[in-house]
Structure 1
Amino acid sequence: MIEKNIDSIFINGQWQGATSKETETIYNPATLKAITEVSFGGKAEAQNAIQAASDAFKIWGQTTGRKRSRILYKASEIMLEESDRLGEILTTEQGKPLNEAIGEVKGAANFLLWYAEEASRGYGELIPSSVKSKRLMVVPQPIGVIGAITPWNFPSSMITRKIGPALAAGCTVVLKPSPETPISAIEIVKILERAGLPKGVVNLVTGDSQAIGEAFLQNKDVRLITFTGSTKVGKYLMRESSEHVKKLSLELGGHAPIIVFDDADIDKAVSLSLGSKFRNNGQTCICANRLYVHESIQEKFTNRLADQVKQLKLGNGLTTDTDLGPLINENAAKKVQAHLDDAVEKGASIITGGCKWKSDLDGYFYQPTILSNITDDMTIMNEETFGPVLPIQSFTDEETVLRKANNTDYGLAAYIFTEKTSRAIRVSERLEYGIVGVNDVFPALPEAPFGGIKQSGIGKEGGHHGMHEFLEMKYISISLD
């Protein structure tokens, strides 16, 4: 059950409303019906939360890794125990099918588990000195207060992927969730509270994104901002954070290609391409945006993919047989339509789908769509669609398709399908992306680094690399003379 009219701001261990008494209504994207109201905080609440986090850091930063580990481990256990309930909440506010939502919650719990284990592994270094009378040490220390800004498309796992390593490292956090999906964030903070997290270590401010973001940027006590979202906003954060030379961890936009070579297992490539593109209705930063298929198998591949896409069922995510839920809002639907219209105007053919889905539901549903006769000048081949439209283009040789795949400012994820080991290694090494999947389109795991290159971001999340983002390496030189 989702509480009505809740005080959703959490500062120094206290749930409260906005000082302005303002609230914001949250809607179910499948039905467009109001499901709750949350507090609409702003700069004042964010500043109070930063102060609480700064005060709490004095103790939390000195807490042993083992003690931090126990709290994260307990929170992970609670999330797993309550995954069905949390998944239903996630579906209600975000729209994805319930089985996907429950899977996300379990994945979010696994991030907490991984960093519960990493909390005791913040290793330093002893450097052999070239000077006999000196001893040289590198000591890892937590950065301090973290401003965490999370997106709506994965409202649970993106939170734990950020605050898990931050807490494990000994940092304190002020969390600003997406205004579309604050309820999952509220539930996660409540779980951390139940797990025994001390007051002020994690604080939550819902409300005015611009005002809260400005507080993060302008307050020198915020030492690092971790953000997942658009490249445009990421660039803004980079510019504005220069005043205090803040550290940034940015996971930004993507434009992932899938390359299917002529030696690929076609059935596997079809099934996984469908899973990549249409998971979360295409609202995924690492999902397929462009599909390059060798000309010798393009017709067979396209026909098999179209047959499977036609079987996908749209509907309310709480309905058990739903494969695709709604898009998050009206702007998302307009963007999908604009990309489709541009492609068709420039000569693309619609293989299946191609329009909004009409039903008794009022949400922003769009039919899963496949396009052929694709040219490189189409918007959909150059910008992230974030919706259920997949363009397919043929290619003839490895060099040409590599050039096309790399011809973008983005570099988050790319995928290839081939049964040749030499090709898998060669092409993986030449793809200009932070993540490459070989016969695999679901590469994100708690134990592995996740992040892009070029304009897809800086820094890594996941794995032991993820905790490094929240640590400073202090060099200590001791003279024995």
Structure 2
Amino acid sequence: MAQRNYVGGEWTEAGTGETFETVNPADPSETVAEYQQSDEDDAAEAVEAAAAAEDEWANTPAPQRGAILREAAGILADRKQELTEELTREEGKTHAEAGGEVQRTIDIFYYYAEKTRDLGGKVKSASAPQTNLYTVAEPVGVAGLITPWNYPIAIPAWKIAPALAAGNTLVIKPASLAPAPVVSIFEALDEAGLPEGVANLVTGPGSSVGDTISTHDEVDAVSFTGSGEVGQMVYDAATQAGKRAQTEMGGKNPTVVSSSADVEEAAEIVANGRFGVTGQACTACSRAIVHTDIYEEFVEAIVEEAESIEVGPGDEYDMGPQVGEGELEGTLEYIDVAEKEGARLVAGGERLEGDRFGEGYYVEPTVFADVENDYRIAQEEVFGPVLSVIEVDDFEEGLEVANDIPYGLSASIVTEDHTEAERFVDEIEAGVAKVNAKTTGLELHVPFGGFKESSSETWREQGDAGLEFYTIDKTVYDNF
């Protein structure tokens, strides 16, 4: 039986009467689930349900809204093992990675449940006597959410939870490659007693469902995470329709390896940042920018790291498959491009077939050395386990190369030189800067977002910033 949409508090079928299937990327012959192939009318119905519920939910005391989020978090926690297996089967992450993502989702719901106790506004001193001067943070209204497949439960959670906590209603369209985790969130919200119409789920194509969510008159704010090309279209459509919009998009994230770095430690940090979640993270390290004094030693060390990774189904191995055939083909194409450009292939580079791999979408952890920063492999986002190693003469050149890209999402440096670390933090053009740490991995209570083409550079996500996007201030002058 096909999974259904969730509209107006009911599990419903799409008006199209059509469905689509997802497959297990470790074994594409295995169908994971069937979902509604919705269209513009289905999306519009969901938006209208959210609009109808808007006033009642906004007027619900914030701690009561938080109680529902807290209950949903508990339900998700009780189902953690099931959700972990579900995520591995549909998206391909290893059990350890999937379990970590599910736990993050639980933590996000608990976090925003508690934040509802602090919502309100700020009291200011008035210039006139007998006057109260204060602000009130009000919900924006109806939020339209469009989410990707690579973190198919955590990213929806860090949009859904603050939107609901702040008193907004919402409609979400999850990525069609892995909708199951969002369905599970909605099952938890439904069981927790979320009033009808407050949150609505519609599966289907971005060209119809996503476009309707971005442009419908009743939608007040649009939050998108995904590719740069689609994100720009969503942002343009939403803002032209007069909506508040935030987009988080791609990255080409560097790790600068200083001459003072411990080479083995640096290689481990880069490998974890590049090959974790099969390289399918917008914050994944894509470029290792290495000082010439330790360059060859680092190349040897990173090759050893790459070759030590055991690839296979996520329930047993270190690195799972790519999510789909299109993503695998894209990665293999970039490998071919890099070799033609003149980069030196030092590890991996092949699709893995036979034995435990079957017809799964597996590729070897791949390392290219002697990459020039103007190569396509160094400038364009490769959403797979492919690392470019770039040699630089000094820290100044390393910083210049790190910034010489269209993106600015996450960046790190490995160094024992405190001055280099401080300069890196000050001068790197990225929304996330890390010292002696991998580019991936985010705390849920601090802002997240990018610079340049990685983001609309409007509002940040997560933490208090996540609430700011979903609220608008009203200033009150009370002359008593």
SS at match of 1:198: coil
Offset at 1:113? 1.2
Aligned equivalent of 1:105, options 98, 102, 106: 102
Alignment-mate amino acid for residue 33 of structure 2: T
Aligned equivalent of 1:354, options 337, 349, 360: 349
- TM-superposition CA deviations, 1:307-340 (whole Å, max 9, x none): 121111111113x2x1111112222122212221
TM-score (norm 2): 0.96
The CA distance in 1 between the partners of 2:180 and 2:242, in whole Å, is 32
Root-mean-square deviation (Å): 1.4
Give yes or no for contact 1:126–1:136 (8 Å, CA) kept in 2: yes
Give yes or no for contact 2:373–2:390 (8 Å, CA) kept in 1: no
Aligned equivalent of 2:13, options 4, 7, 17: 17
Q: Does 1:173 align with 2:170?
A: yes
The CA distance in 1 between the partners of 2:123 and 2:241, in whole Å, is 31
SS at match of 2:2: coil
Offset at 1:395? 1.2
The CA distance in 1 between the partners of 2:239 and 2:162, in whole Å, is 24
Partner of 1:274: 271
Offset at 1:76? 1.4
Task: Describe how 1:342-421 pairs up with structure 2 within 5 A.
Answer: 342-360=337-355, 361-421=358-418
Partner of 2:324: 329
Give yes or no for contact 1:437–1:443 (8 Å, CA) kept in 2: no
Partner of 1:446: 444
SS at match of 2:433: strand
Give yes or no for contact 1:175–1:205 (8 Å, CA) kept in 2: yes
Alignment-mate amino acid for residue 327 of structure 2: A
* 138-147 or 67-76: bigger deviation: 67-76
Q: Does 1:188 align with 2:185?
A: yes
Gaps of 5+ in 1: none
Alignment-mate amino acid for residue 40 of structure 2: K
Partner of 2:140: 143
Offset at 1:195? 1.6
Give yes or no for contact 2:239–2:245 (8 Å, CA) kept in 1: no
TM-score (norm 1): 0.96
Partner of 1:456: 454
Give yes or no for contact 1:342–1:378 (8 Å, CA) kept in 2: no
Alignment-mate amino acid for residue 20 of structure 2: E
Partner of 2:227: 230
Alignment-mate amino acid for residue 173 of structure 1: L
Partner of 2:204: 207
Offset at 1:35? 2.0
The CA distance in 1 between the partners of 2:428 and 2:277, in whole Å, is 25
Offset at 1:362? 0.7
Gaps of 5+ in 2: none
* 151-160 or 400-409: bigger deviation: 400-409
Offset at 1:267? 2.6
Offset at 1:229? 0.4
Alignment-mate amino acid for residue 405 of structure 1: A
SS at match of 1:316: coil
Q: Does 1:477 align with 2:477?
A: yes
The CA distance in 2 between the partners of 1:81 and 1:268, in whole Å, is 37
Q: Does 1:252 align with 2:249?
A: yes
- TM-superposition CA deviations, 1:70-123 (whole Å, max 9, x none): 111121122222111101000111011112111110111111111111112124
Percent of aligned pairs with the same amino acid: 33
The CA distance in 2 between the partners of 1:178 and 1:477, in whole Å, is 45
Alignment-mate amino acid for residue 476 of structure 2: I
Report the CA distance shift for 1:309/1:207 in structure 2 as closer, same or farther (over 3 A): same
SS at match of 1:20: coil
Partner of 1:467: 467
* 395-404 or 150-159: bigger deviation: 395-404
SS at match of 1:50: helix
Aligned equivalent of 1:39, options 6, 13, 36: 36
Give yes or no for contact 1:228–1:251 (8 Å, CA) kept in 2: yes
Alignment-mate amino acid for residue 384 of structure 2: G
SS at match of 1:286: coil
Give yes or no for contact 2:257–2:289 (8 Å, CA) kept in 1: yes
Alignment-mate amino acid for residue 17 of structure 2: K
Task: Describe how 1:74-85 pairs up with structure 2 within 5 A.
Answer: 74-85=71-82
Offset at 1:6? 2.3
Give yes or no for contact 1:357–1:366 (8 Å, CA) kept in 2: yes
SS at match of 1:226: strand
Give yes or no for contact 2:235–2:246 (8 Å, CA) kept in 1: no
The CA distance in 1 between the partners of 2:95 and 2:200, in whole Å, is 28
Offset at 1:30? 1.1
Alignment-mate amino acid for residue 144 of structure 1: G
Alignment-mate amino acid for residue 7 of structure 2: I
